[in-house]
């Protein structure tokens, strides 16, 4: 699969089939905590990208899906709303299946009426808001010059007014950056303005771009949730799914690890394979140089770094 990945167990969306709508890594932000890696092309310019090919791959997969899905999630290696074809892709999915469509977005383009119009048919939109204080927002998300926090918040508020589906607001809480009382009080005021259906709190549990992005403990995260109120919740670990898959190629391992760092337990969970077998395979792939291993926050993570991403060929 070129544009599809998974299905993977998502902490928020259950069994989710990912759809990569953008080349790696095109984004208006260069967030300090991004698990995909540094932004390689920072842009606000929307462009057409492989819409017909993405729909074709979805159609082939959904004609005979190997397992039940909870969501089809538009996300991947960059900001999905940069793709001018996102509305066409959502419409095509709706014609193929009753599986609900989710969009993972940083929300940077939601101030544009055309973008909000393109995403109206999605069932769930999961935008991000990491700070309600301009200086902190710039420090964490590193947006392009000319972008403003006011613009982002206005876009989220407009989405709430116009969008009939669910909005699940994600906030990445980072130690020493946006976890002070002043930061959290400012966030609480903006949450009251946006009125999302859910407020979901995350922290830097995977390897990050910048060492300044440090995680909070579980106890600290629960305290943040209590302070924010309004149903704020710490995102829980996903359940371990069962799978009939017993033979997985090395290419599947490498492709999965090219998208984001994962622990051996993460890989076993996604593939539904015994942990000891996954550990043996990862050890062999490390020895061959196909993937690498590093430690972060007392956990071991595996990652592959492909040379040229096939999805960007010919762009």
Does the pLDDT of residue 69 top 50, yes or no? yes
| Parallel/antiparallel/unpaired status of strands 14-20 and 4-10 | antiparallel
- The Cβ of residue 158 has, within 10 Å, a number of other Cβ atoms equal to 16
pLDDT at 146 over 50: yes
Q: Answer for the pair 105, 125: CB distance below 8 angstroms, yes or no.
A: yes
Could you tell me if 241 and 15 are in contact, meaning their C-beta atoms sit under 8 angstroms apart?
yes
Cα separation, 217 vs 203, in Å, equals 9
User: What stretch of H or E contains 10?
Assistant: strand 4-10
Burial of residue 212, with CB atoms counted within 10 A of its CB: 0-12 exposed, 13-18 middle, 19 or more buried: middle
CB–CB of 310/2 below 8 Å? yes
What's the pTM? 0.76
Q: Are 235 and 104 in contact (CB under 8 A)?
A: no
Q: For residue 36, what pLDDT is reported?
A: 77
Q: What number of H helices and E strands is found in the chain?
A: 10, 12
CB of 201 within 8 A of CB of 234? yes
Neighbouring CB atoms inside 10 A of 26's CB total: 23
Q: Which domains does the chain have, with CATH numbers?
A: 4-239 (3.20.20.70), 248-315 (1.10.10.10)
Over residues 107-144, the pLDDT tens digits come to 999 999 999 999 999 999 999 999 999 999 999 999 99
Going by C-alpha positions, the residue among 277, 308, 279, 290 that lies closest to residue 250 is 290
């Amino acid at each position: 699969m070129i544009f599809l990945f998974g299905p993977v167990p998502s902490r928020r969306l259950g069994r989710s089939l990912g759809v990569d709508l953008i080349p790696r890594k095109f984004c208006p932000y260069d967030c300090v905590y991004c698990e995909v890696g540094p932004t390689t092309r920072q842009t606000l310019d929307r462009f057409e990208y492989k819409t017909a090919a993405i729909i074709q791959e979805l159609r082939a997969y959904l004609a005979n899906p190997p397992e039940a899905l909870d969501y089809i999630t538009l996300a991947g290696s960059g900001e999905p709303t940069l793709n001018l074809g996102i509305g066409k892709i959502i419409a095509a999915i709706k014609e193929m299946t009753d599986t609900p469509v989710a969009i993972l977005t940083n929300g940077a383009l939601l101030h544009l009426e055309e973008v909000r119009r393109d995403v109206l048919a999605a069932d769930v939109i999961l935008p991000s808001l990491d700070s309600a204080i301009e200086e902190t927002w710039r420090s964490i998300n590193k947006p392009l010059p000319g972008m403003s926090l006011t613009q982002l918040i206005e876009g989220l508020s407009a989405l709430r007014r116009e969008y009939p589906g669910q909005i699940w607001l994600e906030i990445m809480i980072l130690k020493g950056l946006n976890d002070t009382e002043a930061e959290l009080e400012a966030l609480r005021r903006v949450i009251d303005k946006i009125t999302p259906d859910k407020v979901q709190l995350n922290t830097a549990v995977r390897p990050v771009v910048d060492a300044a992005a440090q995680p909070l403990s579980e106890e600290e995260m629960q305290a943040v949730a209590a302070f924010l109120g309004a149903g704020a919740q710490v995102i829980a670990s996903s359940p371990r799914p069962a799978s009939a898959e017993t033979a997985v190629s090395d290419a599947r391992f490498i492709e999965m690890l090219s998208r984001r760092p994962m622990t051996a337990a993460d890989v076993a969970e996604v593939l539904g394979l015994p942990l000891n077998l996954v550990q043996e395979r990862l050890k062999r792939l490390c020895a061959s140089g196909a993937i690498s291993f590093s430690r972060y926050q007392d956990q071991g993570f595996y990652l592959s770094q492909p040379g040229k991403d096939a999805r960007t060929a010919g762009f």
